[in-house]
A and B are shown apart, each in its own frame.
Chain A
Amino acid sequence: MRRKNMFSKGTKRKFSDAGEEAADESAMGLKMTSSYTLQRQSLLDMSLIKLQLCHMLVEPNLCRSVLIANTVRQIQEEMTQDGSWHAMAEAIGVGQTPADRLEATEVLCRPMVRDQDPKPFSVIGYEGCHSEEVVVDEALCSTTPEAHTAYMSSSLGVGPCWQGEGLSEVDEDEEEDQQDDCGSRSGGEDGGRLAEDSRATEQVFGTFEIKNPVTSSDPALEELFSDVDASYYDLDTMLTGMQGPPKMGPYDLLESLSSHGSPSISSTSSCRSDLNELDHIMEIIVGS
C-alpha cells in the first residue's frame, strides 16, 4: 500500500530528467526516485538547520528566512502529496488513529489558518530566536502526554513571533499582537507556555527521527532510510553547542517524546558530523 504511493510518479522534478520518469516501474526508476527522496530530505534538514541557527548578535535577515521557510513548505507539501511525510511519521512511531490521519491530510490540502488548528509551517519565533532562544528549546523539548497526531507541520510557534516589535513608540498594535500571542500560550507548567504548539512542533521535527529509526513493519521504509547517516543531524547540535550550553536540537526531539518525561537536554554524543558523508550527499544532489 505504501510502496505505490511513495514511489508514484510525480511532476517533473529538478533532480531527475524527463527521460527517466518513464522508467518508473523498473528497478532503475525505483532507485532514482528513492535517491530523489533522499535529496529532498537532505534539503529539508538543511533548511531547518538554517532556520535554527540564528545569529547571536544581529537580527537575522527576514528575507532569507522567509525564503527558507517557503522552501520548507514546498518540500512538506510535496512530501505530503506523495505520502512520504505521512509515511515517515509512521516510521517514527508516533501513535496515530486513522481518523487523525484523515484530518491531517485534509488540513494539509487546505492551508487555511484556523484558531485552534495547527498552522502551515512558518518560521515563527525564529526571528525572535535570539532573545527567545531558551524558550525555543523548551518548545522543542517539551512534550505533552497525548501526542497529538494532526500531521500538519506547524508553526514552531514559540511565543512572540517575528520579533520586530521592539519599537514601542511606533507600533502599538504590534505590541498588542505580541501580548496576544503570549496570552494564548500561557499555561501552568514550565513549558506550558508552549504546550499548545509543542504538539505541532513535534510533528515538524518528527521527521528527523531518522536518527533512531524505529523498526517498522514496512521493509521499503527501512531500506529507504537504512543508509542515511544520522551523524549529519548532529551538525546542528555541534554548531549551536559552540555558542552556548548544549541544547537539544530538533533531532533529539523524539528521544524525549518516547520518554514522555522531562526532556533530556544533553546534546547528542558525536561531536562532528562526518563531512565526507555530507559531501557524498551533496554530490548526489549536485549531480557532478
Chain B
Amino acid sequence: PCRRACLRALLSMGEDADTRKINHSFLRDHNYVTEADIISTVEFNQTGELLATGDKGGRVVIFQREPEGKNEPYCQGEYNVYSTFQSHEPEFDYLKSLEIEEKINKIRWLPQQNAAHFLLSTNDKTIKLWKVSERDKRPEGYNLKDEDGRIKDVSTVTSLQVPVLKPMDLMVEVSPRRVFANAHTYHVNSISVNSDCETYMSADDLRINLWHLAITDRSFNIVDIKPANMEELMEVITAAEFHPYHCNLFVYSSSKGSLRLCDMRAAALCDKHAKLFEEPEDPSNRSFFSEIISSISDVKFSHSGRYLLTRDYLTVKVWDLNMENKPIETYQVHDYLRSKLCSLYENDCIFDKFECAWNGSDSVIMTGAYNNFFRMFDRNTKRDVTLEASRESSKPRAVLKPRRVCAGGKRRKDDISVDSLDFTKKILHTAWHPAENIIAIAATNNLYIFQDKVNSEMH
C-alpha cells in the first residue's frame, strides 16, 4: 500500500556484451574480471541523453538513450551503445622509469552548442577533448570520381551533375580535437568545465590548473599547495569542481577533510580560500584512523548551486555554502565499518574513493558502498535505502529489493552480516540523470542502469 517508488532494473550491459558474458560464464566460479574492463568513471551529459563510461583500459563507451516508443511503454528510454573509442594509451615516463596508466579517471561533457557533442576525458597526466558527431548522409554523384572514389577519366565525362546527399547508415565519429598535456606533475583526480563554456580546470594532488578549451600549450596554475619542502607535505587535493553557474567560484577538497571555496576574482593564485568548510573533530571518536576516514573522496555542487555534497569514508555530508563550521546534514553510509577500520586499513580498503551524486532536484543523494551495495538518502523524508547492483539479484525489469546489513543484534532473513560483505565488490562510481530518476551504477566491470517507476504502475 505504500506509495514508495520502486526501482526497476533495465539491465544494459553495454558494448562487448557478448564478450563479457562469455567471460563470466566461462570463468564463473572464479569471478574473474578482466582488469581493463573495470569501469573507472561514469557521467551523464547535461540532457541525460548520453551516458559515458571510462575504464581502466583507457576506453570510453558512450550510451545513448533510445527515444520512447508509444507502443511499448516499458521500453522507454533504454540506453544502448552509441560509440566506443580508445581515449588514452599507456605511456612510459622514461625519466622516472614509471608507467603512466591509461585508466580514465574522469569524463566531463561540455554543454552542447551545436550538432556535435564534446567531452573531456583524462587519465593521470593528460586531458583530451573529443568530438562526437553523427554522420547519416553522404554525398553521391561526384563528377570527377566514381562510386568507389577512383578518379574518372575526364574524357568519359559527358555531362555535369550536382552531387546530392543521400541517407546512409548512421555513423558516429569520434575524433580528438585537443590534447592538454604536460601540465601535471602529480596524478589528475578531477576535471570540471566552467559555466562559461570556455574554460575548465584540472586538479591533481597538489595543484589546480585553469585551461582555455581552445589552447593546449598553456594553462594557468590557480591553486598550488605543494610545500617548499616536500617533507612537510601533510595534505593533498582530492577533488575539485566549478560552481554550476558562478563562473568565478570553485571548490576543492582535501585529504584532511576540509573544503575550500575559492573566488578567481580575488587573485590570480587562489591559495587563499574565500571560505573554508571544516567540521571540528569529534574527540570521543578519535582514533589513529580519524584523519584517513575524514579524507574527502568526492565533492559535488548541488544543481541549485547552494549546497555542497561531500563523501568521506563512512559518511556523506551536505554543506550549505553560507555555513562553514559544520555540514547541515550528515548521513551514515556504512557505520558498521567503524569497528573494522584496522582491517580495512590493512587491506587498503580504507583508501577507496567513493563518489557521490545528487538527483536532479537535489532532494535525494546517492553513493556507493561494498558488496555491490549502493545507498540513497532522501533529504526531505530522511529515509534511506540500501540496494544491490548484481546480476543475481536483479533480472531485467525486476524491482530492486532493499537490502540490509546487520551488525550484530537481531538478524532478519535476507540480512547480510558485516563479516560476509565482499569488499572486492565496491561501487565507487555512480551517476544520476540530470532530470529524471535514472541512475547509472558501475560495479567493477558491469554497468547497471536503473530507472524509477512509481509504485502505482506496478502489478
- CB within 8 Å of B: which residues of A? 11-14, 39-40, 43, 46, 50, 57-59, 61-64, 66-67, 69-71, 74-75, 113, 119-120, 122, 124, 128, 130-131, 155, 157, 161-171, 174, 177, 282, 285-287
**Minimal beta-carbon separation of B426 from chain A (angstroms):** 15
| Chain B residues numbered 318-368 whose CB sits less than 8 Å from any CB in chain A | 339-340, 342-343, 345-346, 348, 351
Instruction: Report A-chain residues with C-beta under 8 Å of the C-beta of B345.
Output: 43, 46
Roughly how many angstroms separate A286 CA and B283 CA in the complex, as a whole number? 20
Residue pair A67, B286 in contact (C-beta under 8 Å):
no
List residues of chain B with CB within 8 A of the CB of A62.
Answer: 186-187, 205-206, 236
**Residues A67 and B339 in contact in the complex (CB < 8 Å), given A46-B346, A164-B185:** no
If A12-B284, A171-B185 touch, whether A67 touches B295 (CB-CB below 8 Å) is yes
> Which residues of A sit under 8 angstroms from B287, Cβ to Cβ?
13-14
Contact of A66 with B96 in the complex, beta carbons under 8 Å: no
Q: How far is the CA of A170 from the CA of B182 in the complex (A)?
A: 7
List 18 A-B pairs, Cβ < 8 Å: A12-B286, A39-B342, A43-B288, A59-B187, A61-B351, A63-B351, A64-B351, A67-B295, A69-B234, A70-B234, A71-B291, A113-B229, A113-B232, A122-B231, A122-B232, A124-B230, A170-B185, A171-B185
B 139-160 contacts with A by CB, 8 A: none
User: Taking CB as reference atom, which chain A residue is nearest B256?
Assistant: A70
Contacts of A120 in B (CB 8 A): 231-232
B165 close to chain A: CB less than 8 A: no
Given contacts A46-B345, A63-B295, contact A167 B286 (CB under 8 A): no
Min C-beta distance of B170 to chain A, whole Å: 39
Q: At the interface, yes or no: B289 with Cβ under 8 Å from chain A?
A: yes
**B95 at the binding interface (Cβ < 8 Å):** yes
Write the nearest CB–CB distance from B110 to chain A, whole angstroms: 25
* B235: Cβ under 8 A from any A Cβ: yes
A46-B345, A62-B205 given as contacts; is B97 within 8 A of A131 (CB)?
A: yes
A286 contacts across to B, CB distance below 8 A: 339-340, 342-343
CA distance A67 to B235 in the complex (A): 8
Determine which residue in B187, B230, B255 has the highest number of CB atoms from chain A within 10 A of its CB, and name it.
B230
Whether B96 contacts A59 by the Cβ 8 Å rule is yes
The reply to whether the CB of B99 lies closer than 8 angstroms to some CB of chain A is: yes
Highest count of chain A CB atoms <10 Å: which of B96, B231, B348 = B231
Distance in angstroms between the alpha carbons of A170 and B95 in the assembled complex: 14
A83: min CB distance to chain B, Å: 18
Interface flags for B263-291 (1: CB within 8 Å of A; 0: not) read 00000000000000000000110111101
Is B98's CB within 8 Å of the partner chain A?
A: yes
Q: How far is the CA of A26 from the CA of B289 in the complex (A)?
A: 29
B231 touches A113 (CB 8 A): yes
Say yes or no for B233: interface residue by CB 8 A criterion: yes
Q: Is B169 an interface residue (CB 8 A)?
A: no
Contact of B236 among A66, A71, A131, A166 (CB under 8 A): A66
The answer on a CB contact under 8 Å between A131 and B96 is yes
